[in-house]
Amino acid sequence: MTLLDSMPTDCVVSAWNEWDRLREMVVGTAVGANYEPTEPGSRPQRRGGREGNPFPTGPKPQHVIDQANEELQGLVQLLQDWDVVVRRPSPVDFSTQLVSPDFSVENQYCAVCPRDVLITVGSEIIEAPMSRRARFFEYLPYRDIVRGYWKQDQNVRWTAAPKPSMHDRMYRQEFWEWPLVERHKRMHDFEFCVTQEEVLFDAADASRFGNDIIIQESMTTNRAGIEWLRRHLQDRGIRVHAVHFPLDLFPSHIDCTFVPLRPGLILTNPERPILEGEDKLFLDSGWKLVDAPQPSLTNDQMPEFCQSSKWLSMNVLSLSPDVVICEENEHELHELLSREGLEVLTIPFRGVYEFGGSLHCATWDVRREGKGEDLLGISS
């Protein structure tokens, strides 16, 4: 018997991949959301030709919050119709300033995207260190829920990864000034706005494939963060693999780039191919990589204050290996996924884009059926 065989599969917290039949999930909320502030790890920009104008600060307008909440509630309803237990974050006032010994920031952000903060690996909940000052305390809206699982079942493991200082020294400010030609020259260095000194990662840079986890180096995840996760999980036979997408010059979160849908099938971003050689991990074990079609919106057509790309189109949520939820306007994607044999459910979600995420970002899966398996042709 291996260590993995001895891990509980009937635990209240249990999720090994991105696609097994979903049983319990947290869906984010836009209540209390603020505009993300300018800080060393983030330079928010307006879109649609208004890039040079100042980015707003403080609370988001109520009608924008209401629109997103209506769509998030639509997702909750759909999940409940499919017998998924849904929980929601506690309300938090994100307008408060943060002051620590090492940094200050004028306001915080929001609880729309639990995926960025939390990841379930088997029966363990890991709180990510995060990489941006405004998101330092973003675990707080989920703490009542996490504590509840921990109390309910003694098999639940709960880990908070080390919090970084977020001192100026942790950031590479000149990153924001590099002209495009410089970025292209450096694209194989995988050095972004954060340095390699402290442990940091956002949970949404990781994607689970049973006993293997892939995680991209990005503006929100550095090599120390990947190494921390690797050492943390290795004793349980869970392998962590760094992956890279050199043509993504501003990478942040893997779930608009490389999206596994079921064993053997990954939706890929045609503008962000995986680094040459890294595709072997998947191709040699028989996985098919299928490019997503162009999204229904261009980058300029995305909401003016959204900091994510048009590829939120790919940010789909799997209910099971056969059923996937997509944004309702992404018709070409629906057709592609149907051709691949998936049942496609659709809901409106463009109002949530304003907050930097779509269906995968705005959720955190706590329990899916299934257990840890070796799916990439590697075994410990």
Residues near ligand ABU (CB under 6 A) are 252-253, 256, 308-309, 311, 356-357, 361
Structure tokens at 15: 């999720």
Q: Is 193 a catalytic residue?
A: no
Q: Which of 20, 116, 202, 255 is catalytic?
A: 202
Q: Which is nearer to ligand ABU, 321 or 356 (CB)?
A: 356
The answer to whether residues 368 and 21 touch, using CB atoms and an 8 Å cutoff, is yes
The one-character DSSP state at 218 is -
Distance CA 180, CA 378 (A): 38
Phi and psi at residue 120, to the nearest 5°: -100, 125
DSSP string, 75-124: HHHHHHHTT-EEE-PPP--TTS-EE-SS-EES----BS-GGGTEEEEBTE
We find the least distance from the C-beta atom of residue 307 to ligand ABU, in angstroms, to be: 8
Q: Which of 193, 306, 361, 365 is catalytic?
A: 361
Q: Is 360 a catalytic residue?
A: no
Q: Which is nearer to ligand ABU, 64 or 247 (CB)?
A: 247
Q: Is 361 a catalytic residue?
A: yes
We find the least distance from the C-beta atom of residue 311 to ligand ABU, in angstroms, to be: 5
We find the least distance from the C-beta atom of residue 292 to ligand ABU, in angstroms, to be: 11
Nearest to 264 by CA among 292, 241, 289: 289
Residue 322: C-alpha distances to residues 15, 123, 262, 319, 373 (Å):
17, 24, 8, 8, 18
Q: Which is nearer to ligand ABU, 253 or 367 (CB)?
A: 253
Q: Which is nearer to ligand ABU, 107 or 252 (CB)?
A: 252
We find the least distance from the C-beta atom of residue 256 to ligand ABU, in angstroms, to be: 3
> For tokens 């042709």, what's the residue?
377
Q: Which of 244, 253, 334, 360 is catalytic?
A: 253
Residues with catalytic roles: 202, 253, 361
